[in-house]
């Protein structure tokens, strides 16, 4: 165990010990025939610590099958009495005291689990601790070790991942700090984790032969194991959702000159001798000013991303697109720092980003200080939507002067607002779809968006049409098209098993409110007149009273639905009679990817090269929309043709591969300038 002071001089308070309990009081642990994880706990003394450890495991471990292996390393009489009254654990008794390291090796040799969890007896686990580590372990087949967030009994951080300097000394990152600060709340690769509660893949353990006995009796064996893991191609991860309380020193004491603690410096010398080449090549020289950079082993190019809030990816198309952009950046080998402009970590969406390894900034934060720290090393900044982009553009330029500033329009807001204005006024529309008069709000948005385009190095649009609009007003602007993206469904339920039609759209977006009112009042009555009972299901978050009032015998208002797949699998068609809006419509692309035929307007189809009758059905008026919707309900052959054509359109225009290629292209100039050697696509 490597346990050194870290980035804070604050020492955790020592809390009062609870009154000792009768060591003969039984402890009953669950038993599983096929445990996923084997929890290995060597014990020598500290019966009350061991009791609290075992009871916390019993009370706070579910969702993952496990076994507990306690290695009795010549324990004292009180501890032996305790172990005699433990049910459900496997007790392995050493004939004599052989020390922590060898006891751990012996316990691991008897383990049945796919994962080993190397534990001290001076820990208490909290709810979902093991489940969270298991989720992290399953996220990538290359994950070989997972370390939890260790906190002291007073609730402050003891260790949020370990740092190894070039001279073999270490830092318990975050020591003494608030465990909920954003720096400590995202999953990341680390140098090492302390073996007070360390999850290790059994395959890896056997490959390296367990703990190296040169570190007898203890200290640096866990750091050595993590170095061996990386040398063999495994990843060592820190998982903040797994929280373990560690009474540091409860096993070996805290005096570096006494008891087992004295072996720490002796073993540091051995560790450096063994790993000098890798330490010199991969680790920083000791410098507490660089501790934050050293805490994350992914030290390659970093991208700063700003959006108006954390992407609520299952609630609106813009959020889903941003979530996929972040995932694409990670696939391309970039580290990501994400700032929601409202500084709010909306859950569970914030955790979704953090599990990807995204550093999510939130709370009471001095952003000028943050950007002063990370700005000089930023490769790029992606600023999304005009209001958020305009707010942060100058600050990014100030603190990240060498970063490529990319403005992501999401859609051209002035185009959407112009169409809304035109629909409500008698002003005619030009041949290219642009209103002859924008209206005051659209004009203001246009000025704002074009100003951000001019001030940015590159502008991202979602359609070629909107790219042309940008170039019309800002000739020579560097632009790139990154559409909404989806992966096609691998299984599409046949037409014969389907019924009813579906509308999907978040109602914070005014075009969706207008579209659904138009659908119920103008389109569906014509369908019902022709076909009789056809159920319309309306799905969307933030449903306003005006939409709720549309409910009826054939109209179901479902509100927000966490999983759209059953609805996509059961509906006959998705209808989106949008009369204004801009950009690629997420509801359209999502339905196409699901193999669901689409009935929409020219506004809904724009940006996709949608062709009426080939990959979707397009109608201008309520009469045309109703006729096309009735046709796809009645005609199975048409349904199958549209389903196949729609998925082909997504593969050609909106696939994850297209996203990776376009985003990689957008960042290629900066990569070439820096000469950075990033891992190939999919390397992470």
CATH number at residue 443: 3.40.50.2000
Contact 503, 536 (CB under 8 A): yes
Widest pairwise Cα distance in the chain: 94
Contact 593, 484 (CB under 8 A): no
CA–CA separation, 99 and 301 (whole Å): 44
CA–CA separation, 65 and 43 (whole Å): 23
Q: Are residues 166 and 31 in the same domain?
A: yes
Per-residue HEC secondary structure of 260-281 comes to HHHHHHHHHHHHHHHHHHHHHH
Contact 525, 533 (CB under 8 A): no
- The pLDDT > 90 percentage for the chain reads 65
Contacts of 268 by beta carbon, 8 Å cutoff, 6+ apart: 168, 169, 219, 220
pLDDT of residue 251: 52
| pLDDT for residue 437 is more than 80 | no
pLDDT grade for 680, boundaries at 50, 70 and 90: very low
Say whether the peptide bond before residue 348 is cis (omega within 30 degrees of 0).
Answer: yes
- Structure-token pair, residue 518: 């138009």
| pLDDT for residue 255 is more than 80 | no
CA–CA separation, 589 and 488 (whole Å): 10
CA–CA separation, 201 and 92 (whole Å): 21
- The pLDDT > 70 percentage for the chain reads 90
- pTM equals 0.81
Q: Residue 286's domain is classified under what CATH number?
A: 3.90.550.10
Domain membership of residue 661 (yes or no) is no
pLDDT in tens, 102-136: 999 999 999 999 999 999 999 999 999 999 999 99
CA–CA separation, 129 and 151 (whole Å): 12
Lowest mean pLDDT among 232-246, 269-283, 534-548: 534-548
Q: Are residues 436 and 541 in the same domain?
A: no
- Structure-token pair, residue 662: 């376009």
Q: Are residues 95 and 159 in the same domain?
A: yes
Among the residues of 72-163, which ranges form H helices? 77-84, 100-109, 129-138
Residue 642, domain extent: 495-654
Q: Are residues 139 and 230 in the same domain?
A: yes
CA–CA separation, 331 and 596 (whole Å): 29
pLDDT of residue 82: 94
Q: Are residues 284 and 355 in the same domain?
A: no
pLDDT in tens, 82-97: 999 999 999 999 999 9
| pLDDT for residue 603 is more than 90 | no
Q: Are residues 419 and 504 in the same domain?
A: no
Contacts of 281 by beta carbon, 8 Å cutoff, 6+ apart: none
pLDDT in tens, 334-372: 999 999 999 999 999 999 999 999 999 999 999 999 999
Side-chain-side CA neighbours of residue 607 (13 Å): 26
CA–CA separation, 162 and 534 (whole Å): 60
pLDDT grade for 416, boundaries at 50, 70 and 90: confident
Q: Are residues 596 and 617 in the same domain?
A: yes
CA–CA separation, 501 and 498 (whole Å): 9
* Domain end call among 431, 446, 481: 481
**Residue 435 backbone phi and psi in degrees, to 5:** -60, 145
Domain membership of residue 84 (yes or no) is yes
* Domain end call among 277, 294, 311: 294
Domain membership of residue 139 (yes or no) is yes
Q: How far separated are the first and last CA of the chain, in Å rounded? A: 29
Please report where in the chains the tokens 């609106």 appear, as a residue. Answer: 316
Domain membership of residue 678 (yes or no) is no
- Structure-token pair, residue 555: 């109209």
Find, among 256, 260, 262, 278, the residue nearest to 165 by Cα: 278
Mean pLDDT of 397-411: 94
Q: Are residues 70 and 217 in the same domain?
A: yes
Domain membership of residue 312 (yes or no) is yes
pLDDT of residue 273: 96
Mean pLDDT of 474-495: 89
Mean pLDDT of 149-156: 95
Residue 368's alpha-carbon distances to 15, 296, 336, 394, 398, in angstroms, are 37, 21, 18, 11, 9
| pLDDT for residue 5 is more than 70 | no
Burial 510-547 (b: 16+ CB within 10 A, else e): ebbbbbbebbbeebbebbeeeeeebebbbbbbebeeeb
- Structure-token pair, residue 626: 């109703």
pLDDT of residue 415: 83
Mean pLDDT of 281-294: 92
Contacts of 12 by beta carbon, 8 Å cutoff, 6+ apart: 152, 153, 154, 156, 158, 176, 248
Mean pLDDT of 227-241: 97
| pLDDT for residue 14 is more than 70 | no
pLDDT grade for 677, boundaries at 50, 70 and 90: very low
Domain membership of residue 52 (yes or no) is yes
CA–CA separation, 66 and 30 (whole Å): 8
Q: Are residues 537 and 619 in the same domain?
A: yes
Q: What is the mean pLDDT of the chain?
A: 88
Q: Are residues 366 and 469 in the same domain?
A: yes
Distance of CA 442 to the CA centre of its chain: 35
What's the number of domains the chain is made of?
A: 3
- Ranked by mean pLDDT, the top range of 253-257, 415-419, 448-452, 631-635 is 448-452
Domain membership of residue 659 (yes or no) is no
Q: Are residues 433 and 322 in the same domain?
A: yes
* Domain end call among 294, 329, 348: 294
pLDDT of residue 78: 94
pLDDT of residue 564: 84
Lowest mean pLDDT among 25-29, 188-192, 512-516, 667-671: 667-671
Contact 516, 524 (CB under 8 A): no
| pLDDT for residue 12 is more than 90 | no
Q: Are residues 203 and 124 in the same domain?
A: yes
């Amino acid at each position: 165990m490597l346990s050194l002071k870290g980035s804070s001089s604050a020492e955790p308070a020592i809390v009062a010990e609870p009154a000792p309990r009768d060591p003969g009081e039984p402890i009953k642990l669950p038993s599983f025939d096929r445990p996923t994880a084997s929890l290995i706990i060597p014990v020598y003394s500290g019966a009350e610590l061991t009791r609290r450890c075992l009871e916390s495991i019993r009370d706070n471990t579910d969702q993952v099958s496990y076994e507990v292996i306690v290695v009795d390393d010549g324990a004292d009489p009180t501890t032996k009495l305790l172990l005699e009254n433990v049910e459900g654990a496997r007790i392995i008794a050493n004939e004599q005291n052989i020390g922590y390291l060898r006891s751990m090796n012996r316990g691991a040799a008897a383990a049945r689990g796919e994962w080993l969890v190397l534990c001290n007896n001076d820990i208490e686990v909290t709810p979902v601790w093991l489940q969270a580590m298991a989720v992290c372990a399953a996220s990538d087949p290359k994950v070989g070790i997972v370390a939890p967030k260790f906190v002291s009994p007073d609730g402050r951080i003891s260790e949020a991942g370990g740092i190894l300097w070039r001279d073999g000394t270490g830092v318990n990152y975050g020591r003494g700090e608030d465990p909920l600060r954003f720096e400590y709340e995202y999953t990341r690769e680390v140098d090492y984790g302390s073996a007070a509660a360390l999850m290790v893949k059994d395959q890896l353990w056997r490959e390296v032969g367990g703990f190296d006995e040169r570190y007898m009796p203890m200290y640096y064996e866990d750091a050595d194991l993590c170095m061996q893991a990386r040398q063999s191609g495994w990843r060592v991860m820190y998982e903040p959702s797994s929280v373990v309380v560690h009474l540091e020193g409860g096993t070996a004491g805290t005096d570096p000159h006494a008891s087992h603690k004295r072996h720490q410096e002796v073993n540091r010398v051995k560790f450096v001798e063994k790993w000098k080449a890798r330490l010199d090549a991969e680790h920083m020289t000791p410098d507490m000013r660089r501790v934050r950079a050293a805490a994350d082993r992914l030290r390659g190019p970093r991208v700063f991303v700003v959006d108006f809030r954390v992407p609520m990816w299952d609630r609106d198309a813009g959020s889903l697109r941003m979530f996929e952009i972040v995932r694409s950046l990670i696939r391309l080998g970039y580290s990501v720092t994400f700032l929601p402009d409202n500084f709010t970590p909306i859950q569970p969406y914030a955790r979704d980003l953090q599990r990807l390894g995204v550093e999510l900034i939130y709370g009471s934060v001095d952003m000028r200080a943050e950007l002063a720290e990370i700005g000089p090393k930023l490769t790029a900044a992606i600023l999304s939507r005009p209001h958020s982009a305009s707010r942060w553009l100058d600050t990014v330029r100030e603190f990240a002067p060498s970063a490529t500033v990319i403005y992501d329009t999401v859609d051209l807001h002035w185009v959407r607002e112009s169409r809304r204005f035109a629909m409500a006024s008698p002003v005619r529309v030009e041949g290219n779809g642009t209103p002859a008069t924008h209206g005051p709000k659209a004009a203001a948005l246009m000025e704002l968006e074009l100003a951000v385009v001019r001030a940015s190095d590159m502008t991202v649009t979602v359609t070629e049409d909107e790219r042309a609009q940008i170039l019309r007003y800002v000739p020579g602007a560097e632009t790139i098209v990154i559409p909404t993206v989806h992966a096609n469904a691998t299984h599409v339920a046949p037409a014969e098993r389907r019924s009813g039609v579906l509308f999907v759209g978040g109602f914070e977006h005014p075009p969706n409110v207008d579209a659904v009112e138009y659908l119920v009042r103008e389109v569906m009555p014509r369908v019902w007149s022709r076909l009789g009972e056809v159920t319309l299901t309306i799905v969307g978050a933030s449903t306003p009273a005006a939409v709720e009032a549309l409910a009826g015998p054939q109209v179901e208002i479902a509100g927000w639905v966490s999983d759209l797949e059953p609805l996509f699998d059961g509906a006959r068609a998705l209808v989106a009679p949008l009369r204004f809006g801009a950009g690629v419509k997420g509801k359209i692309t999502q339905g196409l990817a699901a193999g669901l035929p689409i009935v929409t307007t020219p506004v809904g189809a724009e940006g996709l090269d949608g062709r009426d009758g080939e990959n979707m059905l397009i109608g201008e008026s309520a009469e045309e929309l109703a006729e096309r919707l009735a046709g796809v309900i009645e005609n199975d052959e048409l349904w199958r043709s549209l389903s196949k054509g729609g998925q082909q359109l997504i593969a050609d225009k909106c696939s994850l591969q297209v996203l990776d290629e376009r985003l990689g292209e957008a960042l290629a100039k900066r990569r070439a300038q820096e000469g950075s050697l990033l891992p190939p696509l999919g390397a992470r």
